[in-house]
Amino acid sequence: MFFVLVTASGAERECSSCAARAFIADSEAYWNQASWEDDDDEPGAAGCPCGSEEFEAAVAFSLGTDGSVRWVTVGLRCTKDGFCGIYADWKIDYGPTDHLLTMA
């Protein structure tokens, strides 16, 4: 289970048990003040309508016809009431992208 920070161009998860943190896909490359000013979107804690901020997380990758990653989508399920939603998604417009598939 995780607490998750999201922006328009990425996400970072924190384990609710051990507090270990990890960026999802290529988020770390865009996790800086310059990117937030461009997106007008500083990181914020993902929250459920019930008020909880603890989630189970899933990452989906949309692939192009050549097998390269084109989109990354982060879905979260609230551990308190089961509410599910997409909390972040962003386009990947560079290559190669194979490394992203192991960075969930």
SS3 (DSSP) at 66: coil
Identify the pLDDT of residue 32. 72
Identify the pLDDT of residue 50. 97
Identify the pLDDT of residue 68. 96
Contact, 55 vs 77, CB < 8 A?
yes
Cis ω for the linkage preceding 96 (within 30 of 0): yes
Averages of pLDDT over each 10 residues, the chain, 104 residues: 90 95 91 63 89 96 95 96 95 94 89
Token look-up 């979107």 returns 41
Identify the pLDDT of residue 34. 63
